[in-house]
Structure 1
């Protein structure tokens, strides 16, 4: 990476550290990559840095605002009923994802299906949406869904999740989700930043391409045998291993590291201005965390939705085994 790009990259990170949560209220939506589904709009990019995080204290001050909609993303049935922030809307993970070609229930639904699901959760045209859930990877995936609609700067993640909310003195309650009046959410000039295996394969020799693999060691290196024995092990040739938890607080994997630390981590893995970044994992969930980190820094970032379960299932595509030469990491299958 050339030094000039690195310096400008660092300045962006410092700006995010200094941005007060109150500035979020003044943000206006922007538009968004290079991809596959015309129903989401023409290929394009979102390269304006976003601030997708709010903390529990900000939410406690703003939860009563008319335009703030709190959404609990439910990945496992019954999570909302067990515990939720009072007034939170329910959004089931399956409402915005589908099985995909390999049947792993994680790919984006169509534009029409996605908008219908978000409207059913009571999200309106002017809503500022704060998302939380028990799984940071699934919650991050939901944020990427908003970004795909051109609404990335109207959607925010509750940094630290419900754990941070309770630690700040926030109340929780149990019970089923009450009915809500459907909202009038409208996509804002959506463009598609998703890419395919063939798109990546055609650019593997491009020195400006940076592939970021969000999986842990045993998946990245191929030690797991690949896709539970149903496909090839390894990673896309040349991909840097940016395991998603590297971007999170070591003591809480629902809490992002400070922005200046995220900038340094990304730069260490080869990210920077003037490059094209593609994030992937196994099924597109962990890659969502890497995607958000890149968006925070205003990088040109694309999303390989089908991820390794697609690439690893294709014998016509190359694969590499072994660790990332940039640095070694322990293998820890117990981490999500």
Structure 2
């Protein structure tokens, strides 16, 4: 079986982006588009990303008709696997569940605060087979960021998915847990660790209140969780970190214990855990196959904070070369989960974009 090439996905994204843009009138198109990825201030808007219920920038689903909404979701689907798309659609639907659970809250600027229509789509640049363009889709608990260069998908991170509630009862005793695998697999690993390995993996007995890297556009050693007010507004950089989170600060070298210290069962669980994040992306884009190689898996470190008891507040991260995965379930009585997949070297495609722009500059000089 031939593995799809990233160019195939880039072509699908291009077609879907044009199909959506072609339905928009001038005001809607102005809201739904942004400057092409480029140097300096030109790229500031594309590098903004959020996972809170705030203005993510772009055209909301609420402000689109049914055809436009469908085409918007077709574009979103091109950046996700089938399972990834189903998970995103489920998370968006949880806004209705959360609305009821919180007593139908309103805010001064929004009559409906928990709103499955408040998801924003924006296309940056002109989708085409050459040059750089990208798109961003985000709203409460979803942030998808994609960059395409010369027809090839070169970046799909940061990729954030959350769930509130993390667990919802269904009829007949069923339970809806959109991110349950990312929680359960990690829990199985740590609860099966020998005491000395668990001790080495544990950063703190207390879990941080949110993701350590928050919504920063660039991952930097020393990052610590930010207060909610900083995550909801611009700019997140420069905000004072949450007090008492020094033990979980991001370090230049991976914290915790490497997979080389795991037994075979834990290594199998770790591969499945990695796929719960990396297989959000389409086949041919997702890098999960990389970890079929034992040497690559050995470089992945797992760090834990908080309780290892199911249903109690906890945090973990997986870190290795070009890999940072974070999970936090501490809010709402450990029923409010956040998870993110990041590539510290190429979030938002900044390294590839820089090389592309430099190559264009060299070409212009000839």
Structure 2 length as normaliser, TM-score?
0.26
Structure 1 length as normaliser, TM-score?
0.28
Larger RCO: 1 or 2 (CA < 8 Å, sep 6+): 1
Structure of larger gyration radius: 2
| Structure with the bigger percentage of helix | 2
